[in-house]
A and B are shown apart, each in its own frame.
Chain A
Amino acid sequence: MAEANLLESAFVYLTATVVSVPIAKRIGLGSVLGYLIAGAIIGPYVLNLVGDPENVMHTAEFGVVIMLFLIGLELQPSLLWRLRTAILGMGGLQVVVTGAIATGLGTALGLTWQVALAVGLTLSLSSTAIVLQSLREKGIAGTEAGRSTFAVLLFQDIAIIPMLALFPFLATLSVAGDGAAAKGALAAYPGWAQGLAVVVAVGLIVLAGRVLLRPMFRWVAASGLHEILTAFALLLVVGVALLMQFVGISPALGAFVAGVVLADSEFRHQIESDIDPFRGLLLGLFFISVGAGINFALLIAQPWLILGLVLALVLVKASVMFIVARAFGRKTGEAALIGLGLAQGGEFAFVLFAFAKGAGVIPAEVTAPLIVAVALSMAITPLLLMAGDWAMRRLESGSGEDRAPEVEEGHHDVIVAGYGRFGQIVGRMLSTYGYKISVLDHDADQVDVLRGFGRKVNFGDATRIDLLRLAGAAEAKLLIVAIDNDEKALELVETAREAFPNLKILARAIDRRHAYQLMAAKVDGLERETFAAAVRLGVKSLQIMGKPAFAAERAGMIFSRYDERALTAMFQDWQRVEFADYQRIVRDRTALEEELLKRDMIALVGKSDGDEWGEETLEREAFERNLARKAKPD
Chain B
Amino acid sequence: MPKSVLILFAHPSYARSRANRALRAVAQDRDHVTVHDLYETYPNFLIDVEAEQRSLLDHDHIVLMHPFFWYSAPSLVKEWLDVVLDYGWAYGEGGTALAGKTWTQAITTGGPAQSYCSDGLNRFSIEELLRPFQATANLCQCIWQTPFILHASRQATPEILAEAAAKFSAMLEGLIDG
Contacts and interface: CB of A to CB of B under 8 A. Distances in A.
Interface in B128-160: 154
A617 B13 CA distance: 13
Given A550-B40, A550-B43, A604-B13, 14 more contacts: A548-B40, A548-B43, A549-B41, A549-B43, A550-B39, A553-B43, A553-B44, A606-B15, A606-B16, A612-B16, A613-B18, A614-B18, A615-B154, A618-B16
Contacts of B18: 613-614
**Among B16, B18, B40, B41, residue most surrounded by chain A Cβ atoms (within 10 Å):** B16
A548 B154 contact: no
Interface in B1-51: 12-16, 18, 39-41, 43-44
Interface residues of B, number: 12
Contacts of A615: 154
Interface string A537-553: 00000000000111111
B14 A548 contact: yes
Contact of A549 (B16, B40, B154): B40
Interface residues on A, range: 10 to 19
B148 to A, nearest CB: 23
A541 to B, nearest CB: 14
Contacts of B12: 550
A613 B41 contact: no
Contacts, number: 32
A551 B13 contact: yes
A549 B15 contact: no
Query: Top 5 A-B pairs ranked by shortest CB distance?
Result: A553-B43, A549-B43, A550-B39, A550-B43, A549-B40
B140 to A, nearest CB: 26
A533 B18 CA distance: 34
Contacts of B14: 548
B152 to A, nearest CB: 12
A633 to B, nearest CB: 26
Contacts of A549: 39-41, 43
A116 B34 CA distance: 88
Nearest to A609: B15
Contacts of A552: 43
A613 B40 CA distance: 19
Interface in A507-556: 548-554
Nearest to A557: B44
A612 B20 CA distance: 14
9 contacts: A548-B13, A548-B15, A550-B12, A550-B40, A550-B43, A552-B43, A604-B13, A606-B15, A612-B15
A620 to B, nearest CB: 12
B43 A613 contact: no
A549 to B, nearest CB: 4
**Among A548, A606, A614, residue most surrounded by chain B Cβ atoms (within 10 Å):** A548
A548 B12 CA distance: 9
